[in-house]
Amino acid sequence: MTAAVRCDGIVQIYRTRELEVVALRDVDLVIDPGETVALLGPSGAGKSTLLWLMAGLLRPSAGRLRLNGSDVSRLSPRALDRMRAADIGVVLQNPSRNLIPYATPAQNVAFAQRAARPDRRRVAELLDRVGLGGNRHPHAGRMSGGEQQRLAVAVALANAPRLLLADEPTSQLDAASGEAVIDLIKETAVETSSTVVVVTHDPVVSEALGRTITIRDGRVGTEGRHGEDFVVIGREGAVQLPPEFHELLPPGTMARIEPLADGVVLRRAEPGDDGDETRRAGR
Amino acid sequence: MRGWGLTLRGLWERRTLSLIVLVVALVPVATASVGPIFAESAGTEIVRTTLAESTPDERGWRFTAPHSGVPAQAARFAAGGSFLHPPIKGMELLSPEATSLTKYPLMWQDGQCEHVTLLVGRCPAAAGEIMVSRAAGFPLGHRVRVTGVIERPKPDGKSRPAPLQVVGVYHAPNPGDPFWFGRNLFAQSAGFTEGNGDPLFTVPATRESTVVNGATWTDAATVVIDATRITAADLPRLAELDASAQQLANADTETIVFSGLAGPLGELRSQTASLGVPALLVIAQLVGLGWLLLFLTVSDLVTARGPEIALARLRGHGRLRVWRFGLAEPLVLLAVALPAGLALGLALASAMAGALLTVAVPVTVTGQSVLAGAAVLLGGVVAAGLAARNVAVRPVTEEWRRTPRRTARGWIIDAVILAVTGLGLAELLTTGIITENSGQQAGALAVPGLLAVAAALLSCRFLPSLARRLFGPTRRAGGIGVFLALRQIARGPATAGSLIVLGTAFGLATFATAAWSVTSANFERVARIHNGADAVLITRTESVADFRKAVERADPSGVRAAPVLVLPGPPKMLATDPARFAHVANWDRPAASLTGRLGADVAPRVTLTGDRFRLRIHPVEIPKYWEVRMFADLRVPGEATVKSIPLGAPDRAMLEWGLPPACRTAPCELRGLRGDVSYLSGADMDEHPLLAIEATEVATRSGGRWRAIDAGLTDPDRWRGTGSAGADGLTLDMAAFTATKMIPATYPEELPALVNSLTGNDFTPGLDQAYLVRQAPVPVGPAVPGLDVPGGVVDLELADRVAFAIHPKAEFQVWVAPGHLAAVRDGLLAQGLPVYEPRLMSGLVARYSSQGPGLALMLLLMAAIAAAVLALGRAVLALYSAARQRGYELAALEAAGARTPALRSALLLEQLIILCAGMLAGVTSGVVAAWAALPRIPEFVVPPITPPLLYEPSLPLLAAVTGGALLAALVAAAVTAEILLRGVRPDRLRGAPG
C-alpha cells in the first residue's frame, strides 16, 4: 500500500541574510492512508514547517518527501499546484487566514474548488455539515471565530482531499467550538477515508486522533498510538527522551546503554563509576 | 460574473486604498491627456485665427475661365473638404460706359445683394436691370449703356449698346468681406475715379438676353474656407487642396486660379509644427512621474492583497489564475481610470480653452490623448505585474511570517539615473544644447525631471545615513522622541519611497512654477512690445493725410487711437502721430517726453494744383557752349518716385511746363528746384563762371488762371540746398561741374527716431523705403512698442514729408487704447474704410501660451502641482502605514514608561523630517533646474529679438508654493501623528500580532 505521506531524512533549512535556521533535521515518517495524526511539540520545534512541506508549499532542503507516492522534490510547480488543488486540504492556524473576508461562506468554499472541479452541490453539503448552510450568513470577515474555523474546515474539504492538513485548528476557539471542529475533521476522515494530519498543542485534540507524533528540535521525538507513547530511534541512532524523563536523565547527563534482547536500557552513570559491571553484563 | 463580483467586493473592502489608486491613476491620466487635447484645440485656434487675420484672397481660391465649366470645377473642388463653403458662382464683363468711357465691371455674384447695403431701390431681378454704387452717380431709372454689351441684332441689322436700367443704388461694402475675395472692386467709392467705376450688379439673365461686343464674359467661382469649421487636423487636407488647385490651373490653360493661401499655409505649418516637441517632452516627464506614483501605489494595493493571493496558491490555483486574481483589482481600477482621466482631461482642456483661447474651438478627445493616458497607466500595469509577480513567486509561507524579510535596495538603478543626469547637466552647461533636431533647446525640458529624480535619489540615500550619524548625540541629549524618530528614519524603507516621490514631484513643481512665472512674464512683456498697444486695427487709406484724418474722426479725443504706419524691416520703421502714440502705446517709460523728441521745426509744404507750373526768375546770360536746364521736382499722388518737370534754360524770365495730370485733381507738392549744366563741344573748360539764378515767384495755372503760390522764396528758413533764400528771392548758385538744388525745408535734415538699437544704418527707410534722409537716433532702450526687430519710431507727418509715396508693404495700423476698441473700429468702418480683425495684446499672450513651448510649460505646471499634491498624500499615507505597522512597538514603549508627548514628538518629528527633506530636495533641484535650464528652454516658437527676455522667477510665488507645501506637510504630519497615537494602547500587546 502506498503511504499517504513518506518522509525520508527530511531536512529543512531557512536561510536569511544573517543566518541559517535548521527547522527540521533527518525526519523519517510514514503516514498511511486514512490515518489521523496529531503533530505535537513545543513552539519552534518544526511542526508547522513539516505541515507546510506536506502541503507542498515548501520543498525540503534535503531528503525525500513522497505524498501519495509522488516525490514532492521532483514535481513541477504546476504539478504541485494540481496536487494541492485535487488532493490536499489545508486549515491554517488563524481562522481568518483561511478565508477571503469579503466573500460569503459559499464563495469561500467555491474559491477553493475553482482550481479543481467546481461542485455547487458539494458546497451546499459542506456548509450544511459545518452548520453554515443557507444564505443567511454574512461575509466571512463578520463571522465569529468558531464559525470562521468551521468554515475554514469546509473550505479545506471543498476539493474532497485525500490529505487534510490542519495547523492548530482549535487554538483560538472555546472548548465547545474546538470539539465541534475536531469531530468534524474526524467524521470527514472516516467518511472519505482521508488522511488527516493536525498540528496541535491541545491534548484533547491529540487524544481524539489515532496517532501522535511529537517533534522536538526538528526531529521526530516520540510517537503515540492508542494512548501509549514511544520514542523513535533516529537515523543515526539518536533518541530524544521525552521531557517527563528529563528529571531522571537531565540534559548533559552521562548514561550507560545496557543492551537487552529486544532493545537497550539507559542508565545514569554516576561520577566515579567505572562501568565494569556494565561491561560485564554486556559480555 | 462571480469573479467580477468578488473583485468588486474586494475593491470595496479596500475602498480607501482603491480610491487612492484610482485618484493617483486618474490625475496623471488627466494631466497627460490634457496636453494633446488642448494642443489640438490650440492648433485649431491657430488655424482659425491665422485664417481670420488673413486677407480674403488668402482664405480661399478664385477660379476664373472664359467658359461655363468653372462652377462645376469649383463644386468638385469644394466637395474635397468639409471645411469649405459651397462655391460662390459669378460672372463679369469689363466694358466702358458709352458716354464717359469709364470702365465698369458688369457683374453678377451669387448672393451679391446680401453683401452690399442697398440705399435706394431694389436688387436687380430681371434681364437688363442693374444696381449701381452711389459713387457712380447714376440715378434710379437711368439707362446705362456699356459698349461691350449690345442688344440682340434687330431686323434692320443694327446693334446698339443694350440699355441697363438702374433699379437700385448701393453703398460700397467692406472690402474685407471674404465674399469679394479681396478684390479692389469699389475703387470709385474709395475715391479713385481714374477710368474705373464700381461694379454694375446685374443678374445672369442679362447675359442671356444680350450679346457681347468686343468683350468677353468671364465665369468665376470663389471657394472660401470656413474659418469657423476648419480644425488643426484639416491642415494636411488644406495643403493638398491648395496643391490640387494649382494642378487644376496647370491642366486647363483657360482656367486661372487666384489664391494667396500659400502664405498663411506656410505660417500655419511652422506654428503647428512647434506644438509637438516641447509638449512631448513634458508629457514624457509627466508620464514618468505618473509611473513612479502609480508604481508605488499599485504595488501597495497588490501587496495588500498578498494574503488572498497566498490563499489562492494554497488552494492550488494555477499560475495564470493566480496572476489573474492578483491583477484583477488594480487592472479594474486602471481600466476605470482611463476613461475617467480622459473625461477629466477633457474638462480641464475645455476650461483652459475657455480661459486661454481667443476663439471658441471644439475640444475633443484625440487619439494622442488616449495614447498619453494609456502610457501613464502602463506604469501602473507594470507595477501591478511586478508586485503580483513578487507575491505570486515568493514562497507562500513568507506571507504568514511575522517578520517579513528585508531586501536591500540596489545601487545600480540609482547609479544609472545619476550618471544620465550628470551627463545631461554637463552637456547643457557646456554646450547649451541638449541633443535634439527641431530647433531651439527643447531638450533642456528634460533636465528638470532628471535633476528632480537625481536629487530625490541622493536625498533618500543621504537622509538615513545622516539619521544614523545623529543617533549618538540624540541618545545622549536629544530625548527619546528625537531618538525614536531618527532611528525610524535610519531604518530606511518607508523613508526612501516617500523621499523619491516627494523629491521628484516637488522638484518638477518648483521648476514648473518658476518656469511659468518667468514665461508668463515674458509673454506679457513681449506681447506688450510686439503688439505695441492694447489693440491694433489694420486698415488702408490712400494717403497719410487720409489716414490721419480717418483716425482723428474715429477718435476726436486724441488719446484713444493713434495712426501708425508700419514699414517692415529690419530696420523696421513706425511712423506715427507722437502725441497720440504717447497715450496709446504700451510703454512703461514716460512716453510723452520721449515722443516729444520726435518733432522738428519745419517749413510748410509747397502744394501745387493745376495744369501748368511756372517759375519766375531773373534771367541770366548763359556762357557760351553751356547748356543749362532747370527742373522742378514734384511729389505726385499715385507716383512711387519723384516726378521732375523740365523748365528749360534760365535765360528767360518765365519758366513754364505742364503739371502731371494727377495734379489737376489732387495737390502735388513742390519738392525741389534744381538746375544742371551740360557742356557743348568747344567750351572753355578753364573758365569757371558762376551763375546765380534768382527765382522770385512760383505759380500754377488752374482753370486758365495763374495763381502765385506761397513758396517762401524769400524766407531763408524755408529752403535749403546749394543756394540761399533772401529778400531778392531764391538764389540757386550754379557753377561749372556742379548741379544745384534747393529743396523746401519741409522736413529736417536728420529725422529724429526713437530706436531700440543702433543698427549702424545712418539713413531711415522712409515711408517709401527710399532711405532719403539721415536719421537722428534717440536710443531709448531695447524695448520700443511695436518694434519686434531693430528699428525706430518717427513722426508720421515728417516721414510723409520726406517720402514721395507709401511703400506697398506699408501697413496702416490704428493703435487703440484699452477699452476703446469697439468705438474706434466703428468710427473707421463708418468712414467706409476696410478694417480687418483686431490684433489684441491679450490675444498675442494667449497665442504664445497656446503655442508649443508655452503650452508645454503650462501643462508641466498643472501636472506637476497635481503630482506634488498626490505625492504629498502618498508620502503621508506611506508614513502612516509604516508607523501603524509599528503599533506594537509603540505600545510596548508606552507600556515600558515612555510618555505620550515623547511618542507624539517622535511620530511628528519622523514625518516632518521626511516630508521636509523630500520637499527640500525637490525645491532645491527645482531651483537649480530653473537656473540651469530656463534660459535654454524655448518659450517662443520664434525667439524674439526684442525685448530681451528675463529669467528671474517670481520669488514671492515660489515662496508661496513652498510655504503652502510645508504648511500642508505640517498639518498632515500633525494629524497623522495624532491619529496614530490614538491607536497606541498597551492592551494591544495582549493580542497576537496576526
Express each pLDDT in B193-241 by its tens digit: 556 788 999 999 999 888 888 888 999 999 999 888 898 889 889 999 9
Residue type at position B600? A
pLDDT per residue as tens digits for the range B5-16:
778 888 888 787
- Yes or no, beta carbons of A103 and B319 under 8 Å apart: no
| A262 plus A152 within the same structural domain | no
In a domain? residue A256: yes
Q: Between these two residues, A31 and B868, which has the higher pLDDT value?
A: A31
Distance of CA B549 to the CA centre of its chain: 31
Containing structural domain, residue A38: 33-56+75-231
Provide the pLDDT confidence category of residue B994 given band limits of 50, 70 and 90. Answer: very low
Contact B681, B603 (CB under 8 A): no
pLDDT at A183 over 60: yes
- Yes or no, beta carbons of B314 and A55 under 8 Å apart: yes
pLDDT per residue as tens digits for the range A90-114:
988 877 788 888 888 888 888 888 6
Provide the pLDDT confidence category of residue B166 given band limits of 50, 70 and 90. Answer: very high
pLDDT at B437 over 50: no
Q: Classify residue B220 as left (phi > 0), alpha (psi -120 to 50) or beta.
A: beta
Q: What value of ipTM does the predicted structure carry?
A: 0.85
Mean pLDDT, rounded, for B359-377:
86
Residue type at position B395? P
Provide the pLDDT confidence category of residue B687 given band limits of 50, 70 and 90. Answer: low
Q: For chain B, list the domains and their CATH numbers.
A: 1-55+260-405 (no CATH), 62-71+81-230 (no CATH), 407-523+861-941+949-994 (no CATH), 541-602+748-833 (no CATH), 607-744 (2.60.60)
Provide the pLDDT confidence category of residue B339 given band limits of 50, 70 and 90. Answer: very high
Phi and psi at residue B289, to the nearest 5°? -65, -40
Name which of B90-94, B271-275, B489-493 the model is least confident about: B271-275
| Residues of chain A positioned with their CB less than 8 A from the CB of B318 | 78, 81-82, 85, 115
- Yes or no, beta carbons of B10 and A102 under 8 Å apart: yes
Rg for chain B, CA atoms, rounded: 40
CA–CA separation, B318 vs A114, rounded Å? 10
Question: DSSP state, B201?
Answer: E
- Tell me the CATH number at A142: 3.40.50.300
Question: Which of B632, B718, B635, B726 is closest to B675 using CA atoms?
Answer: B632
SS (H, E, C) B840-853: EHHHHHHHHHHCHH
pLDDT at residue A104, as a whole number = 87
Q: Between these two residues, A7 and B303, which has the higher pLDDT value?
A: A7
SS3 percent helix, strand, coil of chain A, rounded to 5, is 35, 25, 40
Provide the pLDDT confidence category of residue B433 given band limits of 50, 70 and 90. Answer: very low
Please state at what angle helix B900-933 crosses helix B479-491, rounded to 10 degrees.
Answer: 50
In a domain? residue A12: no
Residue B315 has its nearest CB partner, among A17, A85, A94, at A85
B459: number of CA atoms within 13 Å, CB side?
Answer: 29
Distance of CA B256 to the CA centre of its chain: 33
Q: Count chain A–chain B contacts defined by CB atoms under 8 A.
A: 77
In a domain? residue A96: yes
What does chain B come to in residues? 994
pLDDT at B402 over 80: no
Q: Which helix (H) or strand (E) holds A88?
A: strand A88-91
In a domain? residue A128: yes
Q: Name residue, grid cell 491529540.
A: A206
Is the CA virtual torsion B607, B611, B616, B619 positive or negative?
Answer: positive
pLDDT at B434 over 50: no
For B9, the closest chain A residue by CA position comes to: A102
Residue A81 has its nearest CB partner, among B9, B13, B318, at B318
CA–CA separation, B802 vs A70, rounded Å? 110
pLDDT at residue B23, as a whole number = 84
Number of domains in chain A: 2
| A227 plus A273 within the same structural domain | no
pLDDT per residue as tens digits for the range B777-829:
888 778 889 888 888 899 999 999 998 888 878 889 999 999 999 999 999 88
pLDDT at residue A273, as a whole number = 61
Mean pLDDT, rounded, for A46-65:
89
Residue type at position A61? S
Is the CA virtual torsion B946, B947, B953, B957 positive or negative?
Answer: negative
| A220 plus A252 within the same structural domain | no
Q: What cell does A29 get? A: 515518517
Provide the pLDDT confidence category of residue B633 given band limits of 50, 70 and 90. Answer: very high
| A260 plus A190 within the same structural domain | no
* Alpha helices (H) along B818-886: 821-830, 841-850, 852-885
CA angle (B185 as vertex; B182, B186 as ends), nearest 5? 115
| A89 plus A215 within the same structural domain | yes
| A259 plus A172 within the same structural domain | no
- Yes or no, beta carbons of B318 and A115 under 8 Å apart: yes
Contact B870, B506 (CB under 8 A): no
Question: DSSP state, B988?
Answer: G
CA–CA separation, B728 vs B696, rounded Å? 7
B272: number of CA atoms within 13 Å, CB side?
Answer: 24
Three-state DSSP at B438 gives: coil
Nearest-Cα distance to chain B for A190, in Å, is: 23
User: CB distance from A72 to chain B under 8 Å?
Assistant: no
CA dihedral of residues B8, B13, B14, B20 (deg, nearest 10): 60
pLDDT at residue B592, as a whole number = 63
Going from the C-alpha of B864 to that of each of B32, B209, B348, B378, B451, the distances in angstroms are 11, 73, 15, 19, 14
CA–CA separation, A82 vs A98, rounded Å? 19
- Yes or no, beta carbons of A84 and B311 under 8 Å apart: no
For B14-160, where are the E strands, in sequence order? 60-65, 88-96, 103-109, 117-121, 129-133, 143-151
Q: What cell does A209 get? A: 486522533
| A148 plus A251 within the same structural domain | no
CA–CA separation, B467 vs B463, rounded Å? 6
Q: Name residue, grid cell 476650461.
A: B351
- Yes or no, beta carbons of A97 and B400 under 8 Å apart: yes
Q: What cell does B484 get? A: 525614536
Average pLDDT over chain B, rounded to an integer: 82
User: CB distance from A15 to chain B under 8 Å?
Assistant: no
Residue type at position A68? N
pLDDT at A275 over 60: no
B103: number of CA atoms within 13 Å, CB side?
Answer: 11
| A226 plus A251 within the same structural domain | no
Chain B neighbours among A 173-232 (CB < 8 Å)? none
Name which of A44-58, A203-217, B759-773 the model is least confident about: B759-773
pLDDT at B989 over 70: no
Percent of chain B with pLDDT over 70: 88
B65: number of CA atoms within 13 Å, CB side?
Answer: 20
Q: Which residues pair with B573 in a beta bridge?
A: B567, B792
| A225 plus A258 within the same structural domain | no
Provide the pLDDT confidence category of residue A129 given band limits of 50, 70 and 90. Answer: confident
User: CB distance from A233 to chain B under 8 Å?
Assistant: no
Please state at what angle helix B319-356 crosses helix B841-850, rounded to 10 degrees.
Answer: 160
CA–CA separation, A153 vs A164, rounded Å? 9
Question: Which of B180, B224, B177 is closest to B199 using CA atoms?
Answer: B180
pLDDT at residue A268, as a whole number = 85
Q: Which residues pair with A65 in a beta bridge?
A: A7
| Residues of chain B positioned with their CB less than 8 A from the CB of A92 | 314, 400
In a domain? residue A25: no
Provide the pLDDT confidence category of residue B696 given band limits of 50, 70 and 90. Answer: very high
Residue A114 has its nearest CB partner, among B13, B317, B397, at B317
Provide the pLDDT confidence category of residue B685 given band limits of 50, 70 and 90. Answer: low
Average pLDDT over chain A, rounded to an integer: 83
- Yes or no, beta carbons of A100 and B12 under 8 Å apart: no
pLDDT at A249 over 60: yes
pLDDT at B494 over 70: no
Q: Which residues pair with B574 in a beta bridge?
A: B566, B793
In a domain? residue A137: yes
* Long-range CB pairs of B717-721, under 8 A, 24+ apart, other chains included: B717/B603, B717/B745, B718/B603, B718/B604, B718/B744, B718/B745, B719/B603, B719/B743, B719/B744, B719/B745, B720/B745, B720/B749, B721/B672
pLDDT at B277 over 60: no
pLDDT at residue B39, as a whole number = 79
pTM for the full model?
A: 0.67
Three-state DSSP at A227 gives: coil
Chain B neighbours among A 17-56 (CB < 8 Å)? 17, 52, 55
pLDDT per residue as tens digits for the range B497-515:
778 878 888 888 888 888 8
DSSP string, B36-64: HHHHHHHHHHHHHHHHHHS-GGGSEEEEE
Q: Name residue, grid cell 496541535.
A: A200
- Yes or no, beta carbons of B400 and A92 under 8 Å apart: yes
Mean pLDDT, rounded, for B433-437:
42
Question: DSSP state, B668?
Answer: E
**Biggest alpha carbon distance in chain B?**
137
- Yes or no, beta carbons of B315 and A100 under 8 Å apart: no
In a domain? residue A80: yes
pLDDT at B561 over 90: yes
| A48 plus A169 within the same structural domain | yes
| A147 plus A256 within the same structural domain | no
pLDDT at residue A17, as a whole number = 59
What does chain A come to in residues? 283
pLDDT at residue B1, as a whole number = 43
Q: Name residue, grid cell 475533521.
A: A185
**Which string of b and e fits B151-175 if b means at least 16 CB within 10 Å?**
beeeeeeeeebbebbbbbbbebbbb
Question: Which of B727, B739, B517, B497 is closest to B628 using CA atoms?
Answer: B739
Q: Are strands B773-779 and B750-755 parallel, antiparallel or unpaired?
A: parallel
pLDDT at residue A280, as a whole number = 47
Question: Which of B625, B502, B520 is closest to B921 using CA atoms?
Answer: B502
In a domain? residue A7: no
Residue A111 has its nearest CB partner, among B315, B406, B408, at B315
CA angle (A183 as vertex; A178, A185 as ends), nearest 5? 95
Residue B397 has its nearest CB partner, among A17, A57, A103, at A57
| A149 plus A263 within the same structural domain | no
User: CB distance from A114 to chain B under 8 Å?
Assistant: yes
CA–CA separation, A1 vs B219, rounded Å? 107
